[in-house]
Structure 1
Amino acid sequence: MHPDLLPRVLSLLPNRGDRPELRAFSAMLRDYPERGGKGIRSELLLASARAHGALPSTSAWEGALWLAAGLELFQNWVLIHDDIEDDSEERRGRPALHRLYGVPVAINVGDALHASMWAAVHRAGVPGGLEEFLNMVWRTAEGQHLDLTWVQERSWNLGEADYLAMVRLKTALYTVVVPLRLGALAAGVLPDERFTAAGEALGAAFQIRDDVLNLAGDPAKYGKEIGGDLWEGKRTLIVLHWLAHAPEEQRQIFLEQMRRDRADKDAAAIAAIHRWLLESGSVQYAQAYADTQAREGLARLTEALENAPDPQAARALLAQLRGLATREA
């Protein structure tokens, strides 16, 4: 994460010390931001701003930094709520906030960070920035609704197109499309419309790679629970591909487990399912699909940035996205 961002984020958070409960609240507000996330989305926003001509120590760069702080706050309040909705155990190598303090308190912390996000957008003062954030919040909520509804209704009669529709809304927009657009706006440049198609492809590659890491990643590097997607009943490209080809006995065991809430799932059965997925070839299928999406997205983005004001920064942005879509952790 850019070194200027965390101090900006923290500067927007209330720090009241007149009551012990409010001192505790202040600490909770800072918990997720201070856990040391990678700052992927804010870094992309700043890289886009540089590529579009925003220079350090200018008002354009200052606006970009505040928008990036807003994006970090968005990421953190969404993660708090997401962890509750998914009944997650961990976040960034530590217990999820609701595991530490309970669901009602964690929801309230997320709501307060949400309010601080809008304060950052206001500080930025970038024309078009408010509209981008509004669209991002709405589209992300729609994608999350698809995900949560499928889990709630125990829906597994889904295909790759369903998964990709959810990913475009829930992940691709706020991970790639909006950071690219916000960076351009901060520099005073109208965002290229090709950013959307490029960002959707790259965002899909990012999410599929995350799904792969959730099953086959290094626990020390991944920062989340390995196999957590199975416990949470997540619809992933890996699982949907496997379901279409799995032996009927394995398929029935899987569906029976997925009808249960997390607390009622059988650990031995989940471990067996995890093993079947790793042995099936579906992980490799998903990774190959992600690689194709990454190549397509990078090709589209290369075209969109062909006449960028700062060609060197544009090349650095492309390299950053290439690493994001093929990351190892």
Structure 2
Amino acid sequence: MHSFEALALDFKQRFEIGHFPAAPESLYASCNYFLSLGGKRVRPVMCLMGNELFGEIHPDAYHVATAIELFHNFTLIHDDIMDAAPLRRNMQTVHTKYGINTALLGGDVMLVVAYDYLNKIKGANLNKILHLFNKTAREVCEGQQLDIDFEKLPFVSLEEYIHMIELKTSVLLAASLQMGAMLGGASDGNCQHLYNFGKNLGIAFQIQDDYLDAFGDPEKFGKDLGGDIKQNKKTFLLIHALEVAAPAQKQELLQLMQENPADKVSKVLAIFKACNVDEWAWALKQQYLDKALQHLEDTAVVSVRKKPLIQLADFLIQREQ
């Protein structure tokens, strides 16, 4: 069994071969540029981990992992256009560097090449994996649309927000593990447990991300706090605050969102703390992490083989405030 770090290094070396032809250079330079920005490669490595849970890594797992990473980067290029984001990992986004039209095409061709890699799968697994890949890709698009829709709504329920996060973020983590498990010959029951492990881990990660944006240590987090608050993003924290706040607090919160004063972040954080939103969010994150780990526990594989996935959960989710 390999650690996440060992598999990430292995995948990085394999992934850094060229995926695109030389011409037209004006198109493929944008794709190569974006992939050069790097990232943790969590999703493709989860595919390899899901495979290795059941035996030696199948050669096809590297094809599927590559398709997953290309698909993920396709979504990021298009997300950056929709968000009008100037930076990604402190570097220019593709649309700011190459223009919106080239960025759209670059994302599109990245998706096409992802399917080229899926097409390399041998044997009976191709249909099952293609079905799950397509279902997941559709759900990610649905989640992104819901996120856009939520920006225009005055209120979003916690259940609606969790559903959006499941689609936008969690299903790709879950499917990455399941596709790897399928290649490892896992039973349907084990595949489902791994899918639910990934799905709940993804929700826990998003709750943590929302929490850290408001309450994290700026030095550790690597950016200024309160970015979500400044943009009036409907996060787990804001949704819960609006549900539990006293009428006067709710009125002040809505006013701060509308007026955007200079001290908005500190005032919103004060309301969050008065409503115990910080403690609530940390406990909710723990609930989803516990659900994830229970599904991993229920996966019918000897415990020692599960250690890398437990280490992955520890890597993604902080246990202490």
TM-score bin, normalised by smaller chain:
0.7 to 0.9
Counterpart-to-counterpart distance in 2, 1:136 and 1:184:
16
Tell me the amino acid that sits aligned with residue 243 of structure 2. Answer: A
Gaps of 5+ in 1: 17-21, 260-264
Root-mean-square deviation (CA), in Å? 2.8
CA shift, 1:124, in A, is 3.4
Residue among 292, 301, 310 paired with 1:297: 292
Contact 1:2–1:43 (Cα < 8 Å) also in 2: no
With over 3 angstroms needed to count, the CA separation of the structure-2 counterparts of 1:258 and 1:103, relative to structure 1, is farther
Counterpart Cα distance in 2 of 1:238 and 1:295: 20
Residue 318 of structure 2 corresponds to residue 326 of structure 1: yes
Structure 2 residue matching 1:53: 3-state secondary structure: coil
Q: Is the 8 A contact 1:93 1:223 kept in 2?
A: no
Query: Are the equivalent residues in 2 in contact too, given 1:164–1:204 (CA < 8 A)?
Result: yes
> What is aligned with 1:268?
262
Kept in 1: contact 2:229–2:265 (CA 8 A): no
For residue 262 of structure 1, what is the aligned residue in structure 2? Answer: none
Question: Contact 2:253/2:268 (CA < 8 Å) preserved in 1?
Answer: no
Q: Name the counterpart of 1:14.
A: 21
Structure 1 residue 285 and structure 2 residue 280: aligned?
yes
1:148 aligns with 148
Task: Label 1:278 to 1:222 Cα distance change in 2 as closer, same or farther (>3 A).
Answer: same
- 53 and 205 in structure 1: CA distance in 2 versus 1, 3 angstrom threshold: same
Residue 162 of structure 2 is aligned to residue 164 of structure 1: yes
Match of 1:104 among 101, 104, 118: 101
Q: What does 1:236-275 correspond to in 2, within 5 Å?
A: 236-246=235-245, 248=247, 251-252=250-251, 254-255=253-254, 266=260, 268=262, 270-272=264-266, 275=269
CA–CA separation in structure 1 for the residues paired with 2:269 and 2:99:
33
Is residue 51–residue 180 contact of structure 2 (8 Å, CA) maintained in 1? yes
* Contact 2:67–2:114 (Cα < 8 Å) also in 1: yes
User: Residue 10 of structure 1 contacts residue 30 of structure 1 at CA under 8 Å; is this kept in 2?
Assistant: no
Distance change in 2, residues 1:31/1:228 (3 Å): farther
CA contact (8 A) 1:9 1:73 kept: no
What TM-score, normalized by structure 2, do the two folds share? 0.83
The 8 Å contact of residues 136 and 178 in structure 1, kept in 2 or not, is answered as yes
In 2 relative to 1, CA 224–110 (structure 1 residues): closer, same or farther, beyond 3 Å? farther
Shift of 1:50: 0.6
TM-score by length of 1: 0.81
- CA drift of 1:117 comes to 1.4
* Identity between Structure 1 and Structure 2 (%): 27
Q: Structure 2 stretches of 5 or more lacking a match?
A: 1-7
| Corresponding residue for residue 210 of structure 1 | 209
- The alignment status of 1:2 with 2:9, answered yes or no, reads yes
245-254 or 45-54, which deviates more: 245-254
For 2:44, the equivalent position in structure 1 comes to 42
Distance 1:286 1:105, change over 3 A: same
Q: Quick one: structure 1 residues 253 and 100, their matched pair in 2 at CA, closer, same or farther if it must change by over 3 Å?
A: farther
Structure with larger RCO (C-alpha < 8 A, sep 6+): 1
Question: 2: distance between equivalents of 1:144 and 1:294?
Answer: 23
